[in-house]
Amino acid sequence: MSRKDTVDALFKGRLGAPNAPPPVERIDRVRTGAISAMGASLAQLTENAKTVARLQDQIAAGDLVLDLDPAAIDESLVSDRLTIDVDPTFDALVASIAESGQQVPILVRPHPTEADRYQAAYGHRRLRAASRLKIKVKAIVRALSDADLVVAQGKENLERRDLSFIERALFAQRLEDRGFERAIIISALSCDKADVSRYIAMARAIPERIALAIGPAPKAGRARWAELAERLRDANATRALETLVRQADFLMLATDQRFSKVLEALRSPAERGKTPEIWIAKDGRKVARVQRGSERLVVAFDEKVAPAFGDFVLRELDSLLAAYERSLEAPRESAGGKDC
């Protein structure tokens, strides 16, 4: 045995193998009820936050359709509708939704100042119908600025072609009164600057309380409202109408009948007795009705027969007046030549 082997053997005998550490007893962790509940709450909060984030993304994209309680939806910040109690078209809409359901959703935005509420951009008649039927209303929820809201509101009404002349005029006036720039009003009504000016001028010429009492009057175009505005320049006429529109028999009339009743009340007895003249175009279309009075002649164009013809005539009034005045000068010049 070598010296090295002898030393190794000597030390092995004395020290022996190193002792292994004693086993550590495993203690099972027991989660208390409070800790378990806290963990579940945190998980739920995390999931809720994810849900809210998804909803916000969908709202921003405008692809979220919800069934909402009509009571949780406020009207647009600018009203574009005139409503009256006697409205057969609205009654028909209610009946249609009751029978077939709501086919087209309305558009709303989250309310800018109130939590858990919404503000309608368009679809106010469908909203009213759902409220009457006590059912949820289908609504697209989209994040909209004030300007985006009124432009969407106007565009939808243009596509549906169901705002009357006076509703468009009052809508333009209300937008201006709310401080919206002309560019926004033009976009909302999809018309030019001159049309917006005419709409606003007409709305300001007719007392709003009278317009509200009459309602939308869809058969009354620009010319007939212009005649009404002209007659209402007399303060006595306005006071007389304020009495008329509160009478029970007036309130039983449909909106177009109300307009006719108001206009008839402002005409003189001589005018009431005269039958209007009908202007018939060469192709047989009854384009306009002419009402002659002692102090005025009123031409009312039928916009269903000749769409926008009245607007064309309005744009040409300056040139028509100039042509008329030239026609008056021509006989004088001719007579002057003979005297020479």
Judged against a pLDDT cut of 90, whether residue 257 lies above it is answered with yes
Q: Tokens representing 120?
A: 């309608």
Judged against a pLDDT cut of 60, whether residue 17 lies above it is answered with no
Average pLDDT estimate for 10-14? 45
| Beta bridge partner(s), residue 139 | 66, 106
For residue 177, the model assigns a pLDDT of: 95
Instruction: Choose the CATH number for 53-161 among 3.90.1570.10, 3.40.190.10, 3.30.70.270, 3.90.1530.10.
Output: 3.90.1530.10
Integer CA distances (angstroms), 94 to 58, 101, 129, in order:
30, 10, 5
pLDDT range class, residue 156, cuts 50, 70, 90:
confident
Q: Contact, 108 vs 119, CB < 8 A?
A: yes
Domain boundaries along the sequence of the chain: 53-161, 164-205
Average pLDDT estimate for 284-295? 77
Judged against a pLDDT cut of 50, whether residue 13 lies above it is answered with no
Judged against a pLDDT cut of 70, whether residue 90 lies above it is answered with yes
Lowest mean pLDDT among 81-95, 142-156, 199-213: 81-95
Whether the model pTM is above 0.75: no
pLDDT range class, residue 172, cuts 50, 70, 90:
very high
Judged against a pLDDT cut of 50, whether residue 267 lies above it is answered with yes
Integer CA distances (angstroms), 297 to 205, 223, 266, 302, in order:
19, 12, 14, 16
Q: What is the full DSSP assignment across 63-94?
A: -EEEEE-GGGEEPPSS------S--HHHHHHH
What's CA 78's distance to the chain center, in Å? 7
Lowest mean pLDDT among 36-40, 181-185, 269-273, 304-308: 36-40
Average pLDDT estimate for 293-302? 76
For residue 6, the model assigns a pLDDT of: 46
pLDDT range class, residue 174, cuts 50, 70, 90:
very high
Question: Per residue in 220-253, pLDDT tens?
Answer: 888 899 989 988 888 888 888 888 999 989 999 9
Q: Contact, 300 vs 227, CB < 8 A?
A: yes
Average pLDDT estimate for 119-132? 92
User: Regarding beta strands 106-110 and 286-292, do their DSSP bridges make them parallel or antiparallel, or are they unpaired?
Assistant: unpaired
